[in-house]
Amino acid sequence: MKKIHFINRIDWDNAGDWGCCPLNYYLDYFEQFNLIRHDIDFIDYKEIEPEDVVILGGSGLFNVTRSFNEAINKILERCNHVIAWSAGFNTHDKQWFQGTDFPTISMDKFSMLSIRDYQHPSGIEWLPDPSAAAIPKDFLKSQQNTIRKYGVIEHKDLPIKGIGYIEDRIKNSESLYNILKFICESEVVITNSYHCAYWSILLQRKTIVINKWSTKFNYFKYKPEFIESKNEDAVPVELLENASKVAQIYVNAYAEAVSMNDAYFERVKKLILELNVPKSKEYQEFYEMTYMKSWNIQSKLAEVSRLSERMEYLQNAINDLHDELYEVIDRLHDEVYVRINQEHEELYGAVNGLHDELYERINQEHDEFYKVLHKHRE
């Protein structure tokens, strides 16, 4: 029984993650087949057969964590027909740094391969994120309906610091509709979320990305402005003003993204036809993952492992420091003991000297007193 599998990152608290799967926008076609949707963290490998079709994407799935790359290679080993639909490179830094030593993905094993990263060094075909299709066309006509100059959209796990003076803000855990509506109501969108920046660009809003934290921000075709805020320091209003002045509006981005995904969809349909995937609704599973609110269980376990190794390293360092400190204290103890003995001997000599002088003085005073007393008696 041939099946079509869709695999991406499923996180219902992240509008980008659950909005980027092409199944959301081409369901009318795909629902005529046996379907299974998987979270990349929880792939049911036993259901994937060599002659099935696997559609991987969208979102940044390449070089995120070791577990993601290992999962993708395992899929490529199990299935002969794997399609990457606007996947992307997504190596994190800062607080989500997962290292850079990832297993190499066997890119040559994909039947079709596209990424959302424009002019990426890999040279892989560029395809904008399919969530462009989520934008209602009437939202594109709302250019004059802004109610605020700046609107802030924060990644749900990464609060934006330094611009607390801007009160109008939401998180990317909001519904996609609410996020798109918020974007339309804003003249300038400030965000640290990839998808929120992407949707803002498609909706022809000036877009500023603050504190980018992944390589995925480096490969927009239609680039936002980038600014950084350091630590807790406030971002000067002048910096935002300057960034908003130079931020561009891209009137063709939306139409291009939608048309390119429609064209890619036609190519996928052609491949499915050539593979003689039978039409059947005998088996369709769109299960919700038990742990979908965790962005990556495997990476969390890896993080725990790294922290354990770090703790062991720190414990060894503490032990070494303890030994060094003990040696220093022991040496200081000996030096102080010697010094105290020296001081004691010097003090003892001084006290004895004073004692002898005082004894002699007392004897002298005694003799003089005795003479005076004796003379007085005579």
For 92-149, the pLDDT digits (tens) are: 987 777 777 899 999 999 999 999 999 999 999 999 999 999 998 888 876 667 899 9
Q: Using 50, 70 and 90 to split pLDDT, how confident is the model at 334?
A: confident
Token duo for residue 95? 């607080």
Q: Spell out the residues 6+ positions from residue 67 whose beta carbon is closer than 8 angstroms to its own.
A: 41, 296, 298, 299, 302
- pLDDT score recorded for residue 243: 97
264 close to 125: Cβ distance less than 8 angstroms: no
Cβ-based neighbours of 286, under 8 Å, separated by 6 or more = 35, 37
How confident is the model over 3-30, as a mean pLDDT?
93
Q: Clarify whether residues 128 and 166 are in a common domain.
A: no
Residues 56 and 15 placed together within one structural domain of the fold: yes
Report residue 376's pLDDT band, with 50, 70 and 90 as the boundaries.
confident
Give the residue from 251, 282, 306 where a domain finishes: 251
> Domain span at residue 373?
296-378
Three-class DSSP category at 98: coil
**Residues contacting residue 334 through CB under 8 Å, at least 6 positions apart:** none
Q: Give pTM, 2 decimals.
A: 0.75
pLDDT at 87 over 90: yes
Work out how many domains the chain is built from and give that number: 3
Whether 246 and 259 share a structural domain = no
Judgement on whether residues 332 and 377 belong to the same structural domain of the protein: yes
Q: Which residues have C-beta within 8 Å of that of residue 186, sequence separation ≥ 6?
A: 146, 148, 149, 150, 151, 168, 200, 205
Q: Are residues 187 and 87 in the same domain?
A: no
Domain of 128, CATH number, reads: 3.40.50
Domain shared by 19 and 122, yes or no: yes
User: 196 and 96 share a domain?
Assistant: no
Do 26 and 89 reside in the same domain of the chain?
yes
Name the average pLDDT for the chain.
89
Same domain flag for 186 and 321: no
More confident site: 33 or 233: 33
Mean pLDDT of 309-317: 77
| DSSP secondary structure letter of residue 216 | G
Task: Compute the distance between CA of residue 37 and CA of residue 73 in angstroms, rounded to an integer.
Answer: 18
Tell me, yes or no, whether 113 and 198 share the same domain: no
Beta sheet of 148-154, edge-to-edge order? 169-171, 148-154, 186-191, 206-210, 225-227
Asked whether the predicted pLDDT for residue 232 surpasses 90, the reply is: no
What pLDDT, on the 0 to 100 scale, is given for residue 298? 42
Q: What is the pLDDT of residue 305?
A: 59
Q: Are residues 147 and 119 in the same domain?
A: no
Q: Look at residue 303 and tell me whether its pLDDT is greater than 60.
A: no
Contact 21, 37 (CB under 8 A): yes
**Sign, CA torsion 363/367/368/372:** positive
Asked if residue 350 and residue 375 are part of one domain, the reply reads yes
| Residues whose CB falls within 8 Å of the CB of residue 299, separated by 6 or more in sequence, listed in order | 64, 65, 67, 98
